[in-house]
Amino acid sequence: MAVFVAIAAALSVAVFATVLWPLWRVSRGATIGAVLALVLVALATYRLVGTPAAIDAPAAQPAPRTMAEAVVQLEAEMQRNPGRADGWQLLARSYEMLDRRTEARDAYARALAITPDDPDLLVQAAQARLFADPGKRLDDKAVAMLERALELQPQHQRARWFLGVAQRQRGDAAAAAATWEPLLAQVDAATAATLRVQVDAARRDAGLAPLAAAQAAADGAADAAKTLAVKVSLDPGFAARVRLRGDASVFVIARVPGGPPMPVAVEKHSLQELPFTATLDDADSPMPTQKLSALGEVEVFARLSASGEATRQEGDLDSPPVRVKLPAKAPVELVIGAQ
């Protein structure tokens, strides 16, 4: 029994290195938990091929002296009891230890036939197919396993990583980049830095901008969507008929259509600036709880004010209001004094 425990412990450590091989490291607590779990799995061999009740009594069969002997005993047990998925998994991992890749692939397939909807097992089976392939490629069956694993567990990191590898191998660099990118938010900073290199290489091969440039463009587009450009001018006929005070102010105002008169965005300009283009955004809101970017539609107008106050006073003149859906694709044009 002591010999078998030693073999099981060695198997556990080696299996840990193989099974948790993928791109990134897990947290220390999760790593310790994984090692302990694998030790328990390895010790399960004794339950499969030995007699637990006879630990302190003569063994039902000789304890294996080597890993190869332990595998032989486990193979025999799986022939007698082929319906145990955990036994096939343990046998597959043992084959991996002995570099018997084809047999490991087949053992994982037997386990998967018994437990078809286990995301971890699906990934292990796909990985075994990769290692058993002479060209180290993920075939259609392996890809189907990875896709199924992600259906069952969308946050499965190893499934996502290997699926991206398969897409990269098949020349679909854009798909590989899209598959890998969500991992950047799931892994630690050091791993993300390494992964980002792979993502950018895939994006480059797909004719796409690197992530940093793409993110900057997306941020710019998002910022543009939160602004409203307004062109304000003075009607020439009105300007010829009316003498305007030089200290008059022009307010550009956006408010909720049919709502309260309080603006959701307002800018003040001098009369001398006409014609001008104002850019309204959330920074122009006088109410922190009511932002321009939160609205789907606004009413926009310009107010010519002799008093210099945005609130309408006697003698003020407003341009005809324009209702605008946000985000606006083109600048809104307002003409003060138009008939």
Q: What are phi and psi of 28, to 5 degrees?
A: -60, -45
pLDDT per residue rounded down to tens, the chain (339 residues): 433 344 444 444 344 334 333 343 333 344 434 444 444 444 455 455 454 443 444 445 677 788 888 889 999 999 999 999 999 999 999 999 999 999 999 999 999 999 999 999 999 999 999 999 999 999 999 999 999 999 999 999 999 999 999 999 999 999 999 999 999 888 888 888 889 889 999 999 999 988 876 565 555 555 555 789 999 998 888 878 877 777 889 999 999 998 778 888 999 999 889 899 999 988 888 876 678 888 889 999 999 988 888 788 888 899 999 999 988 888 999 999 886
Cβ neighbours, 10 Å, residue 11: 24
Question: Which DSSP string do the residues of 183-229 spell out, in sequence order?
Answer: GGGTS-HHHHHHHHHHHHHHHHHTT---HHHHHHHHHHHHHHHT-EE
The per-residue pLDDT for 180 is 95
pLDDT of the residue at 226: 72
Cβ partners under 8 Å of residue 119, min gap 6: 149, 150, 152, 153, 156, 159
Residue pair 114/88 in contact (Cβ under 8 Å)? The answer is yes
Q: For position 24, what pLDDT does the model report?
A: 35
Residue with tokens 């096939």: 88
Best CA proximity match to 70, nearest among 5, 4, 157, 2: 4
- Decide if 253 contacts 300 (C-beta within 8 A): yes
CA distance linking residue 207 with residue 176, whole number of Å:
13
Structure tokens at 119: 């995301």
Q: Is the pTM of this model over 0.75?
A: no
**Is the backbone peptide bond immediately before 327 cis, with ω within 30 degrees of 0?**
yes
Measured over the CA atoms of residue 321, residue 322, residue 326 and residue 329, the dihedral's sign is negative
CA distance 235 to 318: 12
Residues in CB range of 275: below 8 A, 6 or more apart: 231, 232, 233, 234
